Amino acid sequence: MTERPLRVAVLGTADIARRRVLPAMAEDPDVELTAVASRSGARARQLAERYDCAAVESYDAVLDRDDVDAVYVPLPVSLHAEWARRALAAGKHVLAEKPLTAHAHTTAELLDLARSSGLALMENVMFVHHPQHSVVRELVAGGAIGELRSFTAVFAVPPLPADNIRHRPELGGGALLDIGYYPVRAALYFLGTGLNVVGAALEHSGGSAVETSGAVLVRSPDGVLGQLAFGMEHAYRSAYELWGSEGRIRVESAFTPPADHKPTVWVADAGGPRELTLAPHDQVAATVRAFVRAARSGGTDPHTAAECREQARLLDAVRARGAGR
């Protein structure tokens, strides 16, 4: 007997929900969008009409609905913990935008609650579901560039409007949590757990109330250094490079490629430079499928949960180092 689709409601009408996640959910045969909630009735109705689902003006009312198995939370970071906790308490699986929360202890608390409740709680980090990165990891593991010596990753976007929520500290704004998240997670992906934040600098351009750029130096337990940079007042860049004793591997369009993008992995090794062109892959759709699998299996995969905890620890450590603590 075929399982019924996972019935998902959305708490909020953020750009990432409208532009990327809801279209992917609507295309997935294992997902049924049942409700869109917003504190603005007009915004809820506008989005709900597009997906032929209910419009709700209260987040709490969504959690009381019997036709909701799971919720997607694309709210500002400062609201993630509250609504993820309420959703889990109501027996709903949760997919929350990244980072799951602004602090490691809160992230750990929510992951423990989800585990004890038999519910899936997943951070919406999409790039890890793109196969281009597993191809790179396999090349490194196979000795394509010899012994890994160094990892660099950068992610930056052009200046954002002054009223963008990323400029509002009370909403969890700032370059670290929204943009620095990607290079930090990439370091975790390629260098493994136990990273030590050796140094960090967070810059507040023009007297901004939040950090607008940053740089981080991490060291893995086996001595590989990672250099990470990020910002929200730069020419766009999304890339990483692994440098070994015998060669290099570089990936551009690393973190947010569109679904029709054909990834290129640049390899320079003993055989000379070469390019590996990979098939397009929709990492948003892949993330939605991973969430459905987690919900149907009765909880988040322990490895995924452990990575979420470690990511939260690293972001806390970067914030502390950047503040001189």
How many angstroms separate the Cα of 135 from the Cα of each of 121, 132, 253? 27, 5, 15
Active-site residue identified among 18, 98, 234, 321: 98
Both tokens of 321, joined, read 């180092």
What 3-state DSSP class applies to 30?
A: coil
Return left, alpha or beta for 146; rule: phi > 0 is left, psi -120 to 50 is alpha, else beta: left
**What does the alpha-carbon distance between residue 44 and residue 11 come to, in Å, rounded to a whole number?**
10
Distance CA 325, CA 322 (A): 7
Query: One-letter amino acid identity for 223?
Result: G
CA dist 65 and 37 (Å) reads 12
State the DSSP string of 161-203.
Answer: PTTSGGG-GGGT-SHIIIIIHHHHHHHHHHH-S--EEEEEEEE
The 3-state DSSP class for residue 251 equals: strand
Q: 292 with 6: CB under 8 angstroms? A: yes
Could you tell me whether strands 237-244 and 248-252 are parallel, antiparallel, or unpaired per DSSP bridges? antiparallel
The yes-or-no answer on residue 92 being catalytic is no
For 144, the 3-state DSSP assignment is coil
First to last CA, the chain: 57
| Contact by Cβ (8 Å): 216, 188 | no
Q: Which residues are catalytic?
A: 98
